[in-house]
Amino acid sequence: MPYRKKAITAADGQGRSVPFAPDAPVLCRARDYSPGTVIPLHHHPDRHQLVYAETGVLVVQAGAGRWVVPSTRAIWMPVGMGHKVSCIGAVGMRSLYILPSAIAHPPGTASTVSVTPLLAALIRAAVEVPQPYRQDSRDGRVMQLILDELQTLPVLPLHLPQPLDPRLQAIARRLESSPDDPSTLQDWARRLSVDVKTIQRLCARELGMTFGQWRQQARLLRALERLAHGDKIIDVALSLGYASPSAFTAMFKKRFGQRPSQFFH
């Protein structure tokens, strides 16, 4: 069944649903979802979206990519891009909808960005802004400050590219079901009846990274999901094929700039 776009609405502070002002530069919607909720494939044809989980963790699939988004991060979704959202645990989702004309030089592709304490506070304030709002009012200035803050956010490496080539797709399915699989390039070359250089070329062309980097990224993003569930670092590290918790922590910090315990705070 094709996805049907619904009119964007917001709460007016008293639990009633009211339509968003169509010409407002920034709109905000707050919704809470129970664990395991899946928001099916959809898109927003007129606005960019910033998908932010104030609590919980989101897994977002868009195009040929997959992102894991904890509560200290958000995902930028360009106008018109189809995406599917899965909730890991209970999620308090706060979405910003932004007119393309309101922001200069936005990311051209789906991207994970850091949510600063200032932006988090602004999003909480935006949830309470009534619709419509005057742009020359306090509410309008809050929304404008959100736009200013969005221009400064760094893009973060929380993306796992998904291949189109059926040979790489076979590897991707294995990494998804068994991220601790230690198979080497030589092992995969034998299974797929190709030479090692073929897999290397495919990884470079379709993924923009080496086989080892791809597998490492798959493991680290799975680790984020497990840690968000409250699993212990030692259990996560060993289940994903790391020799020790310290080896896992070192790789995590090298990739994300923080230890696992710091990342979620």
CA angle 62, 63, 68 (to 5 degrees): 35
What is the CATH code of the structural domain delimited by 9-156?
2.60.120.810
From residue 183, alpha-carbon distances to 102, 168, 178, 201, 220 in Å are 48, 14, 11, 18, 17
CA 251 to chain centroid, in Å, comes to 20
Strand segments (E) across 123-233: 155-156, 159-161
Using the CB atoms, write b or e for 24-55: b if 16+ within 10 Å. bbbbbbbeebeeebebeeeebeebbbbbbbbe
β-sheet bridge partners, residue 31:
93
pLDDT of residue 107: 78
C-alpha 9/C-alpha 31 separation (Å) is 11
CB 73 within 8 A of CB 112: yes
Fold assignment, 163-263: Arc Repressor Mutant, subunit A (1.10.10)
Whole-model pTM over 0.95? no
Q: Would the CATH topology of 9-156 be identical to that of 163-263?
A: no
Question: Which residue, 258, 237, 204, is CA-closest to 70?
Answer: 258
Task: Write the CB contacts of 254 (distance below 8 Å, at least 6 apart in sequence).
Answer: none
pLDDT of residue 168: 94
Could you list the pLDDT tens digit for every one of the 265 residues in the chain? 333 334 444 433 333 444 556 678 999 999 999 988 999 999 999 999 999 988 888 888 887 788 888 777 889 999 999 999 999 888 999 999 999 999 888 877 888 888 888 999 999 999 998 888 888 899 999 999 999 998 887 777 677 888 889 999 999 999 988 888 989 999 999 999 999 999 999 999 988 889 999 998 889 888 887 887 778 899 999 888 888 899 999 888 888 777 887 776 5
The three-class DSSP label of residue 66 is strand
The three-class DSSP label of residue 256 is helix
Question: Which residue, 107, 108, 112, 60, is CA-closest to 82?
Answer: 60
* Annotated domain spans of the chain: 9-156, 163-263
C-alpha 260/C-alpha 221 separation (Å) is 12
Please provide the distance, in angstroms rounded to a whole number, between the alpha carbons at the two ends of the chain: 40
C-alpha 57/C-alpha 89 separation (Å) is 7
Q: Kindly write down the DSSP assignment for every residue of 6-61, as one continuous string.
A: PPPEEE-SSS-EEEPPTT-SEEEEEEEE-TT-EEEEE--SS-EEEEEEEEEEEEEE
Q: Is the dihedral of CA 226, 169, 188, 195 positive or negative?
A: negative
